[in-house]
Amino acid sequence: MAKKLVEAITSMEEDFAQWYTDVVKKAELCDYTSVKGCMVIKPAGYAIWENIQKELDARFKATGVQNVYMPVFIPEGLLQKEKDHVEGFAPEVAWVTHGGLEKLQERLCVRPTSETLFCDFYAKDIQSHRDLPKVYNQWCSVVRWEKTTRPFLRSREFLWQEGHTAHATAEEAQERTIQMLNVYADFCEEVLAIPVIKGQKTDKEKFAGAEATYTIEALMHDGKALQSGTSHNFGDGFAKAFGIQYTDKENKLQYVHQTSWGMSTRIMGAIIMVHGDNSGLVLPPRIAPVQVDIIPIQQHKEGVLEKAQELKSVLDAAGLRVKIDDTDKSPGFKFAEQEMRGIPVRIECGPKDIEKGQVIVVRRDTREKYTVAFETLAEEVQKILDTMQKEMLERARAHRDSHTYEAADYETFKKTIEEKPGFVKAMWCGCKECEEKIKEDLQATSRCIPFEQENLSENCICCGKPAKKMVYWGRAY
């Protein structure tokens, strides 16, 4: 039976997309619904999101962020105020046309993002330099009418947080934009064990209405990129469109400078695709809702379940998240289930172990087994979890680095994108036309202009004109 459970996942080498869907379904993270393009996030999936929320929220608050909540509807007139912004979102907006039986005088859109609502609010709420900065964030859901959907990666409704800030000066806004990008990058590396590339989006790829968009890009196991968090500097464009002004210390009217930044349930797709294997999910210990699964062996025998309970109490007291699997399934089935759900560590404990005063501890990622005495269980398990967290990041970084290539001419570039999935570093002249040609020829896009620049050659990979920047390119989700 245990064998069958594991076989039920398509191997990632055979069909990565199917492997992903199998893991999502069988680890019970989410499921399809009768609402086309929308998913139900099940308890196992939502518990991961809650941990993401908790960790991120604490990091936000440490930088002075306050949480607020805005309406889910945006009047059409409000959305129209910033031209680039409305054009960028128009194709994926869902509209409410009726309230009950009556046709609305003005259509309402279901928020695809909340810039316009925050701007409308800030225009009334900010009067003087004393009212600044405003550093707000909201946790909510947004709706975008996507044509093709995939669990976590693209759904018509998804959960996220969106930060929206207003500042007195351009320098402060830029500082906050980069600060939040760094918060995301540190969170991904420290908590999710996902290494990221930090950089700026090209003008073609930036957010509609932004002056500059910054991104963290992660590489999935199949060599595709995933944009994992973005931070935008709006300058004073929105402020001018919405009339958000304050009186400075000299009593002169000035426009505010704004930022916005967000991370969504997409990041759950990244956790699956960076760390998962052919037995299912592999969760980094810091984000795992259950860190330790105690599996009693021959649990019908006297004292076995009591001992499992005792061990759980010891680990609970040490601050670990623990569960006992005392269902009537076979141990083999329970092991397969623990692996499928990605629980970082399992503890096997039966009558023979109890006699010896020890347990077997098994790591999910490497399957290493340790024999640990009852007396030292809490500290040993903590050590194993810490090592696993650190090594998962190192492994993901090694995978990314070994799938990052360089190209100095278009032939090499083309061959690499087509034959070696991953990031390709190449020089670019700064022209949109070159980006469009690359996208058309190779279905690859510019992922970011990294902060850490290298000069790989003097010429643009595409047109051969003098190069301005080194860019990471790749195919992406």
Mean pLDDT of 258-279: 98
Is pLDDT above 50 for 380? Answer: yes
Q: Which two tokens stand for residue 463?
A: 């047109």
Tell me which of 373 and 209 has the higher pLDDT. 373
User: Which residues have a Cβ under 8 Å from the Cβ of 274 and sit 6 or more positions away?
Assistant: 192, 193, 194, 218, 219, 220, 221, 396
The confidence band for 84, taking pLDDT boundaries of 50, 70 and 90, is confident
User: What is the structure's pLDDT at 1?
Assistant: 40
In whole angstroms, give the CA distance from residue 133 to residue 167: 5
Mean pLDDT, the chain, rounded, equals 96
Where helices occur in 248-363 by DSSP H, the ranges are 266-275, 304-317, 331-341, 351-356
Q: Which two tokens stand for residue 149?
A: 């959907």
The confidence band for 80, taking pLDDT boundaries of 50, 70 and 90, is confident
Q: Which two tokens stand for residue 247?
A: 């009186």
User: Which residues have a Cβ under 8 Å from the Cβ of 24 and sit 6 or more positions away?
Assistant: 30, 151, 152, 272
30 touches 39 (CB < 8 A)? yes
Mean pLDDT of 35-47: 97
The sign one gets for the Cα dihedral 89, 90, 92, 96 is positive
Mean pLDDT of 26-39: 96
Is pLDDT above 50 for 46? Answer: yes
pLDDT tens-digit series, residues 409-437 = 999 999 999 999 999 999 999 999 999 99
SS3 284: coil
Mean pLDDT of 451-467: 96
Backbone angles phi, psi at 471, to 5 degrees: -125, 145
User: What is the structure's pLDDT at 2?
Assistant: 44
Displacement of CA 272 from its chain's centroid (Å): 10
pLDDT tens-digit series, residues 313-350 = 999 999 999 999 999 999 999 999 999 999 999 999 99
User: What is the structure's pLDDT at 5?
Assistant: 52
In whole angstroms, give the CA distance from residue 209 to residue 463: 28
The confidence band for 85, taking pLDDT boundaries of 50, 70 and 90, is confident
User: What is the structure's pLDDT at 429?
Assistant: 97
Name the amino acid, one letter, at 428.
W
In whole angstroms, give the CA distance from residue 311 to residue 66: 40
Is pLDDT above 80 for 445? Answer: yes
Backbone angles phi, psi at 183, to 5 degrees: -60, -45
Could you give all domains of the chain from N- to C-terminal order, each with its CATH number?
11-275 (3.30.930.10), 292-384 (3.40.50.800), 404-474 (3.30.110.30)
Q: Is the peptide bond before 133 cis (omega within 30 degrees of 0)?
A: yes
In whole angstroms, give the CA distance from residue 86 to residue 79: 6
SS3 112: coil
pLDDT tens-digit series, residues 206-260 = 998 899 999 999 999 999 999 999 999 999 999 999 999 999 999 999 999 999 9
In whole angstroms, give the CA distance from residue 391 to residue 193: 9
The number of residues making up the chain comes to 477
What percent of the chain lies above the pLDDT cut of 90?
95
SS3 410: helix
Q: Which two tokens stand for residue 363?
A: 């790591």
Is pLDDT above 60 for 4? Answer: no
pLDDT tens-digit series, residues 383-405 = 999 999 999 999 999 999 999 99
User: What is the structure's pLDDT at 8?
Assistant: 79
The mean-pLDDT minimum among 49-63, 84-98, 238-252, 442-456 falls in 84-98
Mean pLDDT of 62-89: 91
pLDDT tens-digit series, residues 300-312 = 999 999 999 999 9
What percent of the chain lies above the pLDDT cut of 70?
99
User: Which residues have a Cβ under 8 Å from the Cβ of 375 and sit 6 or more positions away?
Assistant: 357
* DSSP E strand stretches across 153-297: 157-167, 197-200, 212-219, 225-235, 245-247, 253-255, 257-264, 292-296
pTM for the whole structure: 0.96
Q: DSSP character for 128?
A: B
Is pLDDT above 70 for 7? Answer: no
pLDDT tens-digit series, residues 99-122 = 999 999 999 999 999 999 999 999
pLDDT tens-digit series, residues 189-200 = 999 999 999 999
